[in-house]
Structure 1
Amino acid sequence: MSMTLQTRQVDGITILDLSGRIVLGEGSVQLRDAIKELVSKGQKHILLNLGDVNYIDSSGLGELVSAYTTVKNAGGELKLLNLTKKVHDLLQITKLYTVFDVKDDEATAVSAFSAK
């Protein structure tokens, strides 16, 4: 099962609803391209909704870090939303949980952007 990606706007925040697997190949490239396109359009508040992502491999993790760095270097913010237990545990094990701003609720996540 490959990754699918839907983009929507809520209060000026760009939300990417991801589902499937973020793995080496198509999934990670799709995410990278989407982030680059958003940043090039000046959309710098990005929320990745990972509620339907059931698996991330090491290259997928690398893509998340790369996306975070790309957005941060452009003066923006990237947050993660709705982590599944598997993805949450993966971020804990790799200590990346401390790098990302992770939210469980979309309304809270959206308001966290405007608070800055």
Structure 2
Amino acid sequence: MKIDKRVRDGVTILEVEGKITIGKGDVALREAVLAALGEGAKKLLIGLGRVSTVDSSGVGELVSAFTTVTNRGGKLKLVNLPPKVTDILQITQLITVFETFDNEDEAIASF
């Protein structure tokens, strides 16, 4: 899994590519979120457009990231969810927990 970080209009964007699965994928996401928080980020946007697979561990890591960011006074939102990820979040009813957006401009404007 690969994560590219950039900042746009005060929003830290983590673009995830590959699989968010048990092992390296979930750990990499956790480390990227914690690093962004450590740098003072309060507005995080996770781009999932290039994610091919998310397993239960990956879903758990998304929830953990949301909780960690929220508990530190920040906001975490998701953008460009592929159909597979949307389906998983709907089945688990987590789609109601996350604010999700179809495009980056809309997501950034929502902060």
Scaled by the length of structure 1, what TM-score is found?
A: 0.94
Partner of 1:58: 56
Letter in 1 for 2:42: K
Gaps of 5+ in 2: none
What is the count of residue pairs matched by the alignment? Answer: 111
Deviation at 1:37, TM superposition (A): 1.1
Higher mean Cα deviation, 32-41 or 51-60?
Answer: 32-41
- Of the three residues 9, 15, 18, the one matched with 2:16 is 18
Partner of 1:33: 31
Cα distance in 1 between the residues matched to 2:24 and 2:101 = 26
Q: Secondary structure at the match of 1:67?
A: helix
Deviation at 1:54, TM superposition (A): 1.1
Letter in 1 for 2:6: R
Cα distance in 2 between the residues matched to 1:50 and 1:95 = 18
Q: Does 1:70 align with 2:63?
A: no
Partner of 1:97: 95
1:12-42 C-alpha deviation (Å, 9 max, x unpaired): 1000010100000001000001111111221
Cα distance in 1 between the residues matched to 2:34 and 2:13 = 14
1:37-90 C-alpha deviation (Å, 9 max, x unpaired): 111221010000000001100000000000000100010000000000010011
Gaps of 5+ in 1: none
- The structure 1 segments of at least 4 consecutive aligned residues displaced by more than 3 Å after TM superposition are none
Cα distance in 2 between the residues matched to 1:67 and 1:93 = 19
Q: Secondary structure at the match of 2:110?
A: helix
Scaled by the length of structure 2, what TM-score is found?
A: 0.98
